[in-house]
Amino acid sequence: MKCIWLFALATFEVIVAQPQVQLGSRPFYLINEMSDSQLKTDLENCATNTEKYEVSDWSIGHRGACMQFPEHTLESYSAALSQGAGIVECDVTFTKDKELVCRHAQCDLHTTTDVVTRPDMNAKCTTPWAPGVAPKCCTSDFTLAEIQTLCAKMDASVADATTAEGYIGGTADWRTTLYSGECPKVPTHAESIALIDAADAYFTPELKTPEVEMPFDGLTQEMYAQMMVDEYVAAGVPAEKVWVQSFLWDDVVYWINNASDFGAQAVALEDTYEAYDFNMTQLDAHFKSIVDAGANYLAPPMWMLVDNVDGAFASSDYIKYAKDKDFKIITWTLERSGPLSSGGGWYFQSVNGEKDGDQSLILGDGQVFEFLHALNTEIGIVGMFSDWPATTTFYANCMNLGLRGDTDGGGDNEEGSGNNEESGSAANGVSHRSFVFLVFALVALLFT
């Protein structure tokens, strides 16, 4: 009995203390789907030869690991961390009492939580759900205490449902509600920082565009941008671990001018999709504000980076311009489109024929790594958002991208300069502790 207890305790110590990267079966499924190529051979060899996968700062958890976990929950962030994402995203928005919480949009509570099924809460929505009514429930409709009573869920809805319970269904069949059953909470931004920091990972908070008029109850856009940064300062997180993002380029300029430590890594998100077809004169005007401010990072959607040139993935004119301006490129979002036998939809529009009627280069799941490889080798992206970071972490390990080869926890490997040395003291320290514990347990056993 004692023996079992001690052994169990020792094993428990090993399991809980060893933060091993776990990739699951999906990357290997994706390799199997590939047609024969040098890349497939290289990835197969990598899968065969890699004994231990490492965290990669090239691998960014988009809303956590939201392909299968309810987005922006601590559960989703934990899944991303266990899949080796070196950087995890909280989209930041504010509550009625001006607290910062993680939601993809200020007004998506009706599709990302069960709010419409709670009559008292539903009544407080900007537009409450009712049969035939499209609801709109905003974080700014509720206090933080109220929001913390909600259960987060997979982002989905059934527009023509006749009951509130029916409205919150509709999860795509290639996603799952498996991890939504225990009422995961809507986390505060500060809770996201604590969780991600405890895992020694880094941060990419996005300041979400307000959907209420600003200033909101005295909160100006600049105060809001500053508040987000201040929560890192309060948590003792250095600016080098934080890539603040916004689609509003005035926010990026604000951080560069007024929060300079954080401004150096501020990311300008791109949603002027017409810019894909801009000429030089138009591109000059388009990028002027962030070029003048000295922004270093640009993050367009994946399709804006590429073009189908003679049946192969090539750099778009848009991204050639951005690279000439020395922007480091981060892009979004891999693993968001479901099975690629559909062509991948919006995120692949420049290479699947949707935009220009060309022959599609996206035929199925075998193209996931081919496409990712093109983004790496043709464009030289420094970070990849993914709804399932395991896929990106696997590729990054095989290609030596952003790996935490150093052990000081302050690595700056976002340009793919990581090395493959057996990683360092943090992980080894833990296994060492576990080993000592095991020996101690065995010795204790001998003397009892």
Ligand X SMILES: *[C@@H]1O[C@H](CO)[C@@H](O)[C@H](O)[C@H]1NC(C)=O
Sign of CA dihedral 356, 362, 368, 374: negative
Q: Dihedral angle at the C-alpha atoms of 30, 31, 34, 37, nearest 10 degrees?
A: 150
C-alpha 204/C-alpha 327 separation (Å) is: 17
Q: Tell me whether residue 18 or residue 257 sits nearer to ligand X (CB atom).
A: 257
If one asks whether residue 222 binds ligand X (CB under 6 A), the answer comes out as yes
Q: Tell me whether residue 49 or residue 279 sits nearer to ligand X (CB atom).
A: 279
Angle between helices 280-293 and 317-324 (to 10 degrees): 40
Q: Tell me whether residue 156 or residue 223 sits nearer to ligand X (CB atom).
A: 223
Place of tokens 């009514």: 133
Of 25, 48, 281, 448, the one binding ligand X by CB under 6 A: 281
Q: Say which DSSP state 259 is in.
A: S
Residue 314: strand, helix, or coil: strand
If one asks whether residue 257 binds ligand X (CB under 6 A), the answer comes out as yes
Q: Tell me whether residue 58 or residue 321 sits nearer to ligand X (CB atom).
A: 321
Contact 362, 53 (CB under 8 A): no
C-alpha 262/C-alpha 244 separation (Å) is: 7
If one asks whether residue 45 binds ligand X (CB under 6 A), the answer comes out as no
The maximal CA–CA distance of the chain, rounded, in angstroms, is 82
Please compute Rg for the chain using Cα positions. Answer: 23
Q: Tell me whether residue 125 or residue 225 sits nearer to ligand X (CB atom).
A: 225
Q: How far is the CB of 271 from ligand X (least distance, A)?
A: 20
If one asks whether residue 11 binds ligand X (CB under 6 A), the answer comes out as no
Contact 116, 164 (CB under 8 A): yes
Interface segment toward ligand X; rule CB under 6 A; list 91-99, 187-195, 278-286, 322-330: 278-286
Interface segment toward ligand X; rule CB under 6 A; list 50-58, 134-142, 268-276, 277-285: 277-285
Q: Tell me whether residue 65 or residue 100 sits nearer to ligand X (CB atom).
A: 100
Q: How far is the CB of 96 from ligand X (least distance, A)?
A: 23
Q: Lay out the site mask for ligand X across 61-80 (x = CB under 6 A, - = otherwise).
A: --------------------
Q: How many other C-beta atoms can be found within 10 angstroms of the C-beta atom of residue 170?
A: 14
Beta bridge partners of 331: 384
C-alpha 239/C-alpha 264 separation (Å) is: 9
Q: How far is the CB of 290 from ligand X (least distance, A)?
A: 15
Interface segment toward ligand X; rule CB under 6 A; list 7-15, 23-31, 67-75, 275-283: 275-283
Contact 123, 104 (CB under 8 A): no
Q: Tell me whether residue 194 or residue 223 sits nearer to ligand X (CB atom).
A: 223
Of 258, 359, 417, 419, the one binding ligand X by CB under 6 A: 258
297: enclosing H helix or E strand: strand 297-299
Interface segment toward ligand X; rule CB under 6 A; list 70-78, 279-287, 331-339, 353-361: 279-287
C-alpha 248/C-alpha 92 separation (Å) is: 13
Q: Tell me whether residue 37 or residue 282 sits nearer to ligand X (CB atom).
A: 282
Q: Tell me whether residue 200 or residue 222 sits nearer to ligand X (CB atom).
A: 222
If one asks whether residue 218 binds ligand X (CB under 6 A), the answer comes out as no
If one asks whether residue 282 binds ligand X (CB under 6 A), the answer comes out as yes
Q: How far is the CB of 278 from ligand X (least distance, A)?
A: 7
- Binding residues for ligand X, rule: CB under 6 A, are 222, 257-258, 279, 281-282
